[in-house]
Amino acid sequence: MKSFNEIMKIRDEPETKDVPVEKKKFQIKKSDDEKMQAFGWASVALTENGEVLEDWQHDIIEPEELEQAAYKFVNLYREGGEMHERGGVAYLIESVVFTEEKMMAMGIPEGVLPVGWWIGFQVTDADVWEKVKNGTYSMFSIEGEAQRIEVKDEETDQ
């Protein structure tokens, strides 16, 4: 199993001997400076190749659990915060959980997108938007609670 850092790719830099295409960071993929909007992956359960993804805390989120968590967030919260400390700095404007079934229904070929939750936020705080623009806040972070269950690694049988 690969970790989140080992799998997520930035494809906007040319590949050279000194600068590999893989940067091991999960970044905001699209933003609109004038509108103060940012878009990207909130969480990814499976890579484009179907590999299970382990997050920064070494946890795995099953696709079905990620989908249900996303629906609950959209239904109950929709608010974006700053570093899990201060709320009210943004609100959700886009959300879709790309599952294998949904991608098939949309005509997206297998292996093109990961199984994951894509989001977009309207940032309402100018100071937070400045931090998005200058790269201080370069990725999304989902906050939540879950029951941690130890899972055996099939490769090492531990």
Alpha-carbon dihedral angle through residues 57, 40, 65, 92, given to the nearest 10 degrees: 110
pLDDT of residue 145: 62
As beta bridge partners, residue 60 has 54
pLDDT of residue 4: 41
Residue 31 sits at the vertex; the CA angle it makes with 30 and 36, to the nearest 5 degrees, is 160
Closest by CA position to 60, among listed 113, 7, 137: 7
Long-range contacts for 108-112 (Cβ within 8 Å, ≥24 apart)?
111/48, 111/49, 111/50, 112/48
pTM for the structure as a whole: 0.73
Two tokens at 96?
Answer: 């879709």
Instruction: Return averaged pLDDT per consecutive 10 residues of the chain, 158 residues in all.
Output: 41 36 50 87 92 83 93 87 80 96 96 94 94 87 66 65
Residue 19 DSSP SS3: coil
For residues 143 and 43, what is the distance between their CA atoms, to the nearest angstrom?
11
pLDDT of residue 63: 95
* Beta strand 2-3 pairing with 53-54: parallel
With residue 7 as reference, give the H or E element that holds it. helix 4-7
For residues 115 and 48, what is the distance between their CA atoms, to the nearest angstrom?
7
